[in-house]
Amino acid sequence: MTNATRDGRDWNPAYLLAIDEKKCIGCGRCFKVCGRDVMTLKGLSEDGQLVALDDDEDDEIEKKIMVMNDDGACIGCGACARVCPTNCQTHGLAPGSVG
């Protein structure tokens, strides 16, 4: 598959493949620049379980982190990587794609 920009220059998308929960600080910068709902903010409990963010359960949340929400919606633009202050994301070719 050949990818090109509008004016015909080669373009190789780098899709968001994973978010390292140990490095992520839950700042939401990546979420704000992504218009495709690829990521969402979740809570991480003391025992490492992902939980929905509800005002009632804030006591159980150890920290907030970004997690993959709809990885198939990623277009590989890399905007999220450019704004991430902790470099917690892994980008690359989509599984099963030919480079």
Query: CA 52, CA 56: separation in Å to the nearest integer?
Result: 11
- Please say whether the beta carbons of 45 and 62 come within 8 A: yes
Predicted TM-score (pTM) of this structure: 0.84
Query: CA 49, CA 76: separation in Å to the nearest integer?
Result: 28
Say what the pLDDT of residue 94 is. Answer: 75
10-68 residue pLDDT tens: 999 999 999 999 999 999 999 999 999 999 999 998 888 998 887 665 667 889 999 99
Say what the pLDDT of residue 56 is. Answer: 61
